[in-house]
């Protein structure tokens, strides 16, 4: 089984109430809000180091967590901070992971031209003049792998860590099966 490092998790939730974003902006130094530029308020916290986008509708998007626990702690902290300035949050927010970005290293350099031809041009995109990595779309799990000549890769689109691990294992297995790495 391959080792992966979670780099970022994007999760969404709802607080079950409308928010006064100007009140939040005035209450927290780390809040940023410019409705002419973007409809959400950005609220950064340092532990865990995350940014949460808060919308008037009460919906939120949390980014920057490296684990589900980080995301849960961040959302709990945001809820606690909002309650601290008198905003009633009537529900316990249900957290939905939208996207997980993980990295890994296969430990072996790859010839991406050979990989692209061997895996089939219908399954990969590789235009080295545009981007130095090969884009490999998997159906199961439904993720995208960015594969680099160094053997390093990025997996995007997983909703759980096990899917990212399975995707990396599947890619490594396919490369081995085709004689592209030991």
Instruction: Describe the strand order of the beta sheet including 152-158 as a list of residue ranges.
Output: 31-32, 41-46, 49-54, 59-65, 5-14, 96-105, 152-158, 144-147, 134-137, 124-125
Which pLDDT score is estimated for 43?
A: 98
Query: Does 182 reside within a domain?
Result: no
Domain's final residue, options 32, 64, 97? 97
Q: Rounded to two decimals, what is the model's pTM?
A: 0.90
Per DSSP, the residues of the chain read ----EEEEEEEEEE-SS---HHHHHHH-TTEE--TTT-SSEEEEEETTEEEEEE-TTSEEEEEEESSHHHHHHHHHHHHHHHHHTT----SPPPPEEEEEEEEEE-SS---HHHHHHHH-TTTEE--TTT-SSEEEE-SSS--EEEE-TTSEEEEEEESSHHHHHHHHHHHHHHHHHTTS--
Domain's final residue, options 97, 116, 151? 97
Residues 93 and 113 in one domain: no
Q: Kindly state the average pLDDT of the residues 28-43.
A: 97
User: What is the number of structural domains in the chain?
Assistant: 2
CATH of the domain at 145: 3.30.310.10
Query: Does 73 reside within a domain?
Result: yes
d(CA 75, CA 139): 31
Which pLDDT score is estimated for 120?
A: 86
Residue 86's domain comprises: 11-97
Residues 110 and 66 in one domain: no
Residues 83 and 144 in one domain: no
Query: Does 3 reside within a domain?
Result: no
What is the band of 1 on the pLDDT scale with cuts at 50, 70, 90?
low
Which pLDDT score is estimated for 2?
A: 72
36-51 pLDDT, tens digit per residue, is 999 999 999 999 999 9
């Amino acid at each position: 089984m391959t080792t992966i490092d979670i780099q970022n998790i994007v999760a969404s939730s709802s607080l079950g109430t409308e928010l006064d974003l100007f009140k939040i902006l005035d209450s927290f130094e780390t809040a940023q809000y410019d409705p002419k530029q973007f409809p959400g308020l950005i609220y950064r916290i340092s532990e865990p180091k995350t940014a949460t986008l808060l919308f008037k509708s009460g919906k939120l998007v949390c980014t920057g967590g490296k684990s589900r626990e980080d995301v849960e702690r961040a959302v709990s902290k945001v809820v606690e901070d909002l309650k601290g300035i008198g905003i009633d949050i009537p529900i316990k927010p249900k957290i939905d992971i939208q996207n997980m970005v993980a990295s890994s290293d296969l430990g072996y350099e790859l010839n991406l031209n050979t990989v692209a031809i061997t895996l089939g041009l219908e399954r990969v995109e590789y235009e080295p003049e545009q981007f130095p990595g090969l884009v490999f779309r998997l159906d199961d799990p439904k993720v995208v792998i960015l594969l680099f000549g160094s053997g390093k890769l990025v997996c995007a689109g997983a909703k759980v860590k096990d899917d990212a691990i399975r995707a990396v294992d599947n890619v490594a297995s396919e490369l081995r099966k085709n004689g592209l790495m030991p």
